[in-house]
């Protein structure tokens, strides 16, 4: 997938989320499918051959988890199906940074990789509050 295809998938994801009617199972399946397609496009762009996305019904306190030995990024339906499109992208970039750095720490190496990928380390809640803000330069992030 090209960068243009990534942008088209992101636009379609945002359009699905802008609907005024309450989301139902069909919208959830659509968001899940678009998120999985976006993840695969990002895997391709960043050279993560053989990686895949798996969905789970709940990961306590986390939107995603990276499993480097299995080449899997697990995403939480509980956290992501109702999330803003920017948060879905941020979660994917967060986990891809883990996949590329190869360790579970939110240290300076991981942070620099996240920034290189285009992440910003910010999670925006539905009420507009920011819950995971960018650290000061040179500081790692504790999540």
- The pLDDT-based confidence of 142 (bands split at 50, 70, 90) is very low
The 10s digit of each residue's pLDDT in 31-49 is 889 999 999 999 999 999 9
Dig out the tokens for 112 from the structure: 């620099």
pLDDT number for residue 124: 65
Cβ-based neighbour number of residue 11 at 10 Å: 12
pLDDT number for residue 126: 60
pLDDT number for residue 132: 60
pLDDT number for residue 95: 93
Per the CB < 8 A criterion, the answer to whether 76 and 64 are in contact is yes
Per the CB < 8 A criterion, the answer to whether 79 and 57 are in contact is no
Q: What is the spatial distance between Cα 39 and Cα 64, in angstroms, rounded to a whole number?
A: 12
Per the CB < 8 A criterion, the answer to whether 38 and 58 are in contact is no
Cβ-based neighbour number of residue 125 at 10 Å: 12
Of the candidates 107, 89, 47, 38, the residue with the CA atom closest to the CA atom of residue 71: 47
The 10s digit of each residue's pLDDT in 46-63 is 999 999 999 998 766 788
Is residue 37 within a helix (H) or strand (E), and if so which, with residue range? Answer: helix 25-45
Contacts with 80 (C-beta within 8 Å, 6 or more apart), sequence order:
31, 35, 63, 64, 87, 88, 91
**For 113-131, what is the mean pLDDT?**
77
Q: What is the spatial distance between Cα 120 and Cα 111, in angstroms, rounded to a whole number?
A: 9
Which range is least confidently modeled, 17-21, 69-73, 93-97? Answer: 17-21
Which range is least confidently modeled, 57-61, 67-71, 138-142? Answer: 138-142
Q: What is the mean pLDDT of the chain?
A: 79
């Amino acid at each position: 997938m090209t960068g243009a295809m990534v942008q088209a998938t992101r636009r379609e994801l945002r359009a699905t989320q802008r609907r005024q009617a309450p989301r139902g199972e069909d919208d959830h399946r659509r968001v899940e499918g678009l998120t999985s397609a976006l993840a695969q496009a990002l895997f391709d762009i960043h050279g993560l051959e053989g990686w895949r996305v798996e969905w789970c019904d709940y990961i306590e306190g986390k939107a995603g988890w990276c499993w480097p030995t299995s080449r899997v990024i697990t995403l939480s339906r509980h956290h992501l199906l109702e999330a803003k499109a920017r948060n879905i992208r941020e979660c994917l970039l967060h986990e891809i940074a883990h996949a590329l750095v190869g360790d579970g720490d939110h240290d300076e190496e991981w942070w620099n990789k996240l920034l290189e990928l285009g992440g910003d380390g910010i999670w925006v809640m539905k009420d507009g509050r920011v819950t995971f803000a960018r650290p000061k330069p040179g500081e790692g992030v504790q999540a």
